[in-house]
Each structure stands twice: as C-alpha cells, then as structure tokens.
C-alpha cells in the first residue's frame, strides 16, 4: 500500500498543478472583486495539493509503524478483470461502428467465455435474449433509439 499511497499523493499534487496550468488564462476575480471563472477551480487545486501533501506525510508516518493493507493490482484475477474492461471498451467501439445489436451479439459471448461459461446453448440464449428484450422495450414500447450503425444510413 505504501508505494501506492505515495503515487496517490503525487497524483493529487499533480492534479492541483494541472488545474492551475489549465486555468492560467481565466480570471480569479473580476474588477468588482467578485470571484471569477478561475476562483473555484483554483480553490479545488489548492485542496488537491494540500491533501496530496497530507497523504504523503501520513504515508511516511504509517510506514514507520508498519502493518499496512496490501494492494492487489497484478494478480491473475485482476488481470482477467482488466481484460473484461478492455472487452467492454471494445464493445463501445464496436457499437459506434456496427450499432447495438451486432456489438452486443459479439460482446456477450466473448465476456461469457472469459468468465468461464462453456455451454454454447447458454451463451447463445443469453445473447439473443438480451438483444431481443432491450430492442423490444426501447424501440417498440418506448419509441426511442438504440445506438445505430454508421454504415446503416
């Protein structure tokens, strides 16, 4: 945990600095002395920096006393979760190009395979049922649209 707490502290301070950098052209106070566009973001930026510092100090103290929880970001299980996230992201990309139905019919089987489902019937039924139910309610009942395919014009 200790290593990551320092990373968190550094990122927090970095975030504060980034806000300062990106708000450099905004006005903190207008001519009447009323807070302007930069006032609130920069107040948040100071908080980020202050809290980042506090986190760093706390980690220093805590590490001397020992006994910290460990953080698991690399175990095989977590890696599988990363693949799951990647699949979901690919799902969104696929949906942008091929629309809802095609993307979902690809995504659900892949994710189910990733999660250890091996029965083809189960996979097929789940994928088809989800697409059918969502399509029925959104398109037929509520008269709203699902992500369309950009090729289908």
Partner 1 sequence: MKKVLGVVIGGLLAFNSFGATAQQITYPNKNITVIIPKNPGGGTDTSTRLTIEYAKSYLPSGVIFVPENKPAGNGVTGLIEGARAKPDGTTLVMTTVELAMFPHQGKSPVTYQNFTPLYAPIADPCAIVVKADSPYKTLADLVAAAKEKPGTIQVANSGTGAIYHLAALNMEKQLGIKLKHIPFSEGVGPAIAALAGGHVDAVITTPGAAKSQIDAGALRALGVMDEKRFALLPDVPTFKEALGKEVDVRMRAWAALAGPADLPANVKDQLVAAFKAVAANPAYQDAMKKQGIMPSTLVGDDVAKMLKDDHDLYKELIAAAK
Partner 2 sequence: MTEVLEAAGIVFSYQTLFLITVGTLAGIIIGALPGLTVNMGIALLMPLTFTFEGMAGVLMLLGVYCGAIYGGSITAILINTPGTPASAATCLDGYPMALKGQAGRALGLSTASSMFGGLFSTVALIIVAPQLAKVATGLSAPEYFALAVFGISIITSVSSHSLIKGLIGGCIGLGIATVGLDPMTAGMRFTFDSLYLMGGISFVPVLVGLFAFSQALFSIEENWGENLHGVSRSVSVKITRLLPTWIDLRRVLPTYLRSSVIGTIIGAIPGTGGDIASYVSYTEAKRWSKHPEEFGHGSIEGVSAPEAGANAVAGGAMVPLMTLGIPGDGATAIMMGAFMVQGLSLGPLLFTEHPVEVNTIFIGLFVANVLMGILGFAGIRAFTRIMVVPRKVLVPIILVLCAIGSYSVNHTMTDVFVMSIAGFLGYIMIKLGFSMSPIVIGIILGPMAETNLRRALTMSDGDFSIFLTRPICLTFLIIAAVTLFLPIVGPKFSAWRRAKAASAGQGAPEPSSDSRSA
- Of 25, 70, 75, 144, the residue at the interface with partner 1 (CB under 8 A) is 144
Instruction: Find which of partner 2, partner 1, none residue 44 binds, CB within 5 to 8 Å per kind.
Output: partner 2
Cβ contact 47:11 at 8 Å: no
Which residue, chain included where needed, has tokens 């979902």?
104
The single residue among 96, 128, 136, 139 that binds partner 2, judged by CB under 8 A, is 96
> Among residues 69 and 141, whose Cβ is nearest to partner 1?
141
Asked if 145 touches partner 2 (CB under 8 A), the answer is yes
Q: Does 17 bind partner 2 (CB under 8 A)?
A: no
Token pair belonging to 108: 């659900």
Return all residues near 52 (Cβ < 8 A) that are at least 6 apart.
8, 9, 10, 11, 12, 13, 14, 15, 16
Binding site for partner 1 (CB under 8 A): 143-145, 153
């Amino acid at each position: 945990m200790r290593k990551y707490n320092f990373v968190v502290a550094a990122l927090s301070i970095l975030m504060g600095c980034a806000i300062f950098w990106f708000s450099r052209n905004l006005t903190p106070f207008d001519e009447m002395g009323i807070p302007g566009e930069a006032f609130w973001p920069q107040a948040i930026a100071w908080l980020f920096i202050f809290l980042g510092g506090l986190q760093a100090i706390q980690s220093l103290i805590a590490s001397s006393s020992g006994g910290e929880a460990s953080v698991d970001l690399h175990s095989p299980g977590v890696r599988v979760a990363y693949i799951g996230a990647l699949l979901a992201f690919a799902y969104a990309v696929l949906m942008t190009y091929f629309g809802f139905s095609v993307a979902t019919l690809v995504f659900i089987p892949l994710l189910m395979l990733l999660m250890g489902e091996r029965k083809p019937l189960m996979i097929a039924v789940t994928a088809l049922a989800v697409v059918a139910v969502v399509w029925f309610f959104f398109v037929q009942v509520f008269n709203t649209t699902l992500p369309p395919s950009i090729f289908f014009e």
